[in-house]
Structure 1
């Protein structure tokens, strides 16, 4: 398979094996495509995470970019939020980070930014078309771009501190544990928290693209060491990152992993209250606990497909957004349109101090805790087109008191009691997924069974 002729972008940029997809050939092609997209001039930033393949891919990308007339700022190893932040500078046309985020060490990828937010789908499609058709701008020898180095850390951290000190007071030494996943945020989050007055202890805090401490995804199954350390010590809160710092996970002082829906709700409530209302944009797979908390605070929740928050941010209503988030990835819209686990770490620690009075457990008692059920069935790609309409026709009549059905990235049936059922097909795997939320486990389990029965019946019908 020629990767240059296939669909490149998924819901979070381009990711894949460095031998099959995220290859040096693709890196150079993307550099040339970006130069073509920008008309053969402009300044772009290029950052990398700590993966072992990144220097290879960075050099290939930069070669392609300067050959198409772009001036490149090499940002070195740095977290994704800093690369996105750089794209918001007036003199910068775009930026790209070479990373596979929480994927295994064998993978790598590319994510593009402009104006402080991710490329929207129409921009990604232009890059794909250029790569697919090998349609690149070629500049003469005297128009080839330049390369310079720039360490963005102090500029970025200063902006974060300015933002955070406008929202909360400094800490008096509240203890915070940070698990940095041996990733790109190793010398960012601890510095930020320290400057805010927290007493910081780190783990997995040296950069290593092999991710020796744990896999890069900050999920409960990978955070056993951090959870045990949190339970056995006196940290007020534990913050865990992925490989490039756009994600954060939270563990309380009892060593309990905090569900991402509740973390989003904490951030969203804070921003809505602080701004006197506003829109919170979140992905279709998040819990109704966010709606409950945001509505009570005077805000409005809008849901988008996974990987599409930026589409709303650039829309006419985007100016009214005060916060956005997919699970793990907060966007503080009053600072910029990028996902920022580092800034999120700083603000969450502040909220533990301010609302929880030094206790994550106390902070989280202010947000309801409702059960969520997630499951999937295998769903071959050749039936996906007809699968969702068939499931919908079977499932909706079985659900009582449905008040709204959102047809965004699948369909989500919302009931009067606040429970919901979301069914969607995977864009990357032969799977169909179901997400169920309710205020009690019995209701959640019953809805999940109805949904899975309908999914199985629909698949049987389509495969006859």
Structure 2
């Protein structure tokens, strides 16, 4: 069966429901997944309109190719990760995360919480297009229901710390965390105020992605309810934004440092785009920073491999420490609340200022972008002492740093620059743009 090539991404499978992602396509993907890795599967889903139908199609495909399947219904992505890491299932979770309502997709995990991604996604596609080996009559897998959500809730309750009455404003964005977070926090003794905590697959208020622009209402609501902490989730609950008691949003790096105040000395995984404020905070506490490529998958894989106590992604994903769970915004919230309780006093007191940052997007032809980044790697490795080349090239200097990366999906080079002040920022920007311009001119001669 020829499948739409665009739905197979590096980290997941994703497309528009009814256009490229249909029940028949998903059933074939389920069969291919079973051929790729036979085992006991848990199929569950977020709260989108199309998710239950696609989950049933995927489960049918898995069972039709011989795998035993439990259907665990709707819940946040943390439930899926819990089923993988703590119940030892292969997991297929139907979600489009922060994308609009018409989109949907599949995130895959091996037992233990390791994501199935990158080359493995292509192998699944290859099996599907080559032809699934369906089970013979009488040898199909079983399909039964197992309610994992109550088990996941009990797990969260067991790791959450009982509060002395901290006030929390929760914005679930009408997504899957609405099924868990308000009740969980109330059971733990928090004073909970809610906004957008009714499940609504249309995501009518702000969409499913929590950005600084579309969560601006949280600033005034945090102050209105005199909340000690505010939190906004994306559609399936793997991304989160925190707000201090003044209503100011914390960057992922600032939030990670608050958690570190509670954690102390630790190994911390951060992507190459994260601010140097994390490096300084970790060093002051006697810990160690490990840089990973941009993308939540790399942070998760590093945490599985190295056992880092904390991971932070510049897009708002966290890997929480102690091996409790992976890339689960609800667990991240529990540990943030624990840190705030331990530290005492207002959250804003522990907010480390962010240095000036600038992001530049340069349109560069596909055939040129990787050549230019490779040339910069060679040039900067010869010029500077602190150079990281695991994802593009990052150069750390005395008063800042810059990162140059080629986009994998667009004819674009992305530049991120951070410096102690606006003057240093401008100096670094001029240097990087000049270097890229010279490399482009050489090609055109």
- Counting only pairs closer than 5 Å after superposition, residues 136-175 of structure 1 correspond to structure 2 as 136-165=132-161, 170-175=162-167
Structure 2 residue aligned with 1:67: 64
Kept in 2: contact 1:436–1:448 (CA 8 A): yes
C-alpha distance in structure 2 between counterparts of 1:36 and 1:278, whole Å: 40
SS in 1 for 2:177: coil
C-alpha distance in structure 2 between counterparts of 1:7 and 1:101, whole Å: 15
Do structure 1's residue 294 and structure 2's residue 282 form an aligned pair?
A: yes
Kept in 1: contact 2:320–2:335 (CA 8 A): no
Do structure 1's residue 309 and structure 2's residue 299 form an aligned pair?
A: yes
TM-fit CA distance, 1:256: 1.5
Q: Report the TM-score when normalising by structure 2.
A: 0.91
Do structure 1's residue 249 and structure 2's residue 230 form an aligned pair?
A: no
- Counting only pairs closer than 5 Å after superposition, residues 322-333 of structure 1 correspond to structure 2 as 322-327=309-314, 328-333=316-321
C-alpha distance in structure 2 between counterparts of 1:461 and 1:250, whole Å: 46
SS in 1 for 2:245: coil
Q: 1:235 aligns with which of 221, 227, 231?
A: 227
C-alpha distance in structure 1 between counterparts of 2:37 and 2:65, whole Å: 9
SS in 2 for 1:47: strand
SS in 1 for 2:127: helix
C-alpha distance in structure 1 between counterparts of 2:260 and 2:126, whole Å: 37
Unaligned residue ranges in structure 2 (runs of 5+): none
Q: 2:97 aligns with which of 98, 101, 109?
A: 101
Cα deviation, 1:248-291, whole Å, max 9, x if unaligned, reads: 101222222212221123234533x2xxx442112121111111
Kept in 2: contact 1:4–1:132 (CA 8 A): no
Question: Closer, same or farther in 2 for the Cα pair 1:150/1:54, shift >3 Å?
Answer: same
Unaligned residue ranges in structure 1 (runs of 5+): none
Question: Closer, same or farther in 2 for the Cα pair 1:312/1:122, shift >3 Å?
Answer: farther
Do structure 1's residue 421 and structure 2's residue 402 form an aligned pair?
A: yes
Question: Closer, same or farther in 2 for the Cα pair 1:43/1:393, shift >3 Å?
Answer: closer
C-alpha distance in structure 1 between counterparts of 2:44 and 2:107, whole Å: 10
Structure 2 residue aligned with 1:440: 421
Question: Closer, same or farther in 2 for the Cα pair 1:7/1:211, shift >3 Å?
Answer: closer
Q: 2:250 aligns with which of 226, 247, 258?
A: 258
Alignment RMSD (CA, Å): 2.5
Question: Closer, same or farther in 2 for the Cα pair 1:254/1:333, shift >3 Å?
Answer: closer
C-alpha distance in structure 2 between counterparts of 1:437 and 1:356, whole Å: 31
Kept in 2: contact 1:436–1:447 (CA 8 A): yes
C-alpha distance in structure 2 between counterparts of 1:444 and 1:394, whole Å: 20
> What is the aligned residue count?
441
Q: 1:369 aligns with which of 347, 354, 372?
A: 354
Question: Closer, same or farther in 2 for the Cα pair 1:159/1:374, shift >3 Å?
Answer: same
Question: Closer, same or farther in 2 for the Cα pair 1:91/1:424, shift >3 Å?
Answer: closer
Kept in 2: contact 1:216–1:242 (CA 8 A): yes
Kept in 2: contact 1:241–1:341 (CA 8 A): yes
Q: Report the TM-score when normalising by structure 1.
A: 0.87
C-alpha distance in structure 2 between counterparts of 1:217 and 1:460, whole Å: 40
- Counting only pairs closer than 5 Å after superposition, residues 314-463 of structure 1 correspond to structure 2 as 314-315=304-305, 318-319=306-307, 321-327=308-314, 328-336=316-324, 338-357=326-345, 359-364=346-351, 367-392=352-377, 402-417=384-399, 419-459=400-440, 461-462=442-443
TM-fit CA distance, 1:122: 4.8
Structure 1 residue aligned with 2:50: 53
C-alpha distance in structure 2 between counterparts of 1:103 and 1:146, whole Å: 32
Kept in 2: contact 1:35–1:137 (CA 8 A): no
C-alpha distance in structure 1 between counterparts of 2:341 and 2:266, whole Å: 25
SS in 1 for 2:415: strand
Question: Closer, same or farther in 2 for the Cα pair 1:159/1:354, shift >3 Å?
Answer: same
